[in-house]
Amino acid sequence: MRLNSPKINIINKACIKASRSLIRDFGEIEKLQVSTKGPGDFVTSADRRTEKIIIEELQKAHPDYGIITEESGIINKSNIQNRWIIDPIDGTMNFMNGIPQFAISIGYEEENEIKCGVIFNPIMNEMFCAEKGNGAYLNNSRIRVSNKKKIKDSLLVTGGPKQASKIKDKIFSEYINVSTKVSNVRKFGSAALDMAYVACGRFDGYWQRELNYWDIAAGIIILKEAGGFVKFFEEEPNFPLKKNILASNSNIHDEFSELIIKKNIE
């Protein structure tokens, strides 16, 4: 059994096409690491190339849809009804260091709600996808969140702070506080894959501050369709694309929310 719908098929096709050059680029990274210039510029062009292929493919199917992307910003601004939300390489720093923990992430939003999404790690050949009402899948198999009952037994994943963060101290102390109350915490470096891994039960929960909408758009529907709960907190109305997110299986969600959210209100 696999998820088969017109929208998912369009996104899958764009992912597969874009991943061909991305896989090739990833193969070149190792050589660049020993050069004096380093892989920085190369990664930026890989990012742009991947995004261009994805946009071309999606526009072939729906030229009028709005698009929000990491590299190109907003396209077809007037269409806010139907939008693609694209991150061509999520986990850029992993990609740049030759670590195969990165993904293409594409979500489809209709009337401000994410309706379907795909997260594709081309190196591991793992494609996570979901559509509202039709479940979540990893390649051809249905996925579900874990069944862990207690936060104290949970394996969580998080990310940040980014270098430029103004709330580094807050993020570090939150990390310490959470670490003492759960089984363990991981930092894997790709928000999209972190969400996908909660969806398939590898992690029990995920939280992160200061993300962008494209990092997690596809993950929202994949997680929900896998039976997970997603919550945004400390939202900033003037910056709707900035997100603080908390996601987990349904059993630990209340306990987890209290740990992150209540702690910061006190």
Q: How many CA atoms lie within 13 A of 168 on its CB side?
A: 5
212 binding ligand 2AM? (CB under 6 A): yes
90 binding Ca ion? (CB under 5 A): yes
122 binding ligand 2AM? (CB under 6 A): no
> What does the alpha-carbon distance between residue 39 and residue 89 come to, in Å, rounded to a whole number?
15
150 binding ligand 2AM? (CB under 6 A): no
Q: Exactly one of 31, 149, 152, 162 binds ligand 2AM (CB under 6 A); which one?
A: 162
225 binding Ca ion? (CB under 5 A): no
Footprint on residues 222-251 left by ligand 2AM (CB under 6 A):
none
211 binding ligand 2AM? (CB under 6 A): yes
Footprint on residues 30-89 left by Ca ion (CB under 5 A):
87
**With respect to ligand 2AM, which residue has the nearer C-beta, 162 or 168?**
162
Q: Exactly one of 215, 220, 247, 256 binds Ca ion (CB under 5 A); which one?
A: 215
> What does the alpha-carbon distance between residue 263 and residue 22 come to, in Å, rounded to a whole number?
41
> What does the alpha-carbon distance between residue 43 and residue 30 come to, in Å, rounded to a whole number?
12
Q: Is the dihedral of CA 138, 144, 145, 147 positive or negative?
A: negative
CA distances from 15 to 2, 47, 122, 128, 168 (A): 16, 13, 9, 11, 34
Residue 106 binding target from ligand 2AM, Ca ion, none, CB below 5 to 8 Å by type: none
> What does the alpha-carbon distance between residue 98 and residue 58 come to, in Å, rounded to a whole number?
28
Q: Helix or strand or coil: residue 36?
A: coil
The secondary element (H helix, E strand) that includes residue 263 is: helix 263-265
Residue 189 binding target from Ca ion, ligand 2AM, none, CB below 5 to 8 Å by type: ligand 2AM
66 binding ligand 2AM? (CB under 6 A): no
Contact residues: Ca ion, CB under 5 A = 87, 90, 215
Contact residues: ligand 2AM, CB under 6 A = 87, 90-92, 159-160, 162, 189-191, 211-212, 215
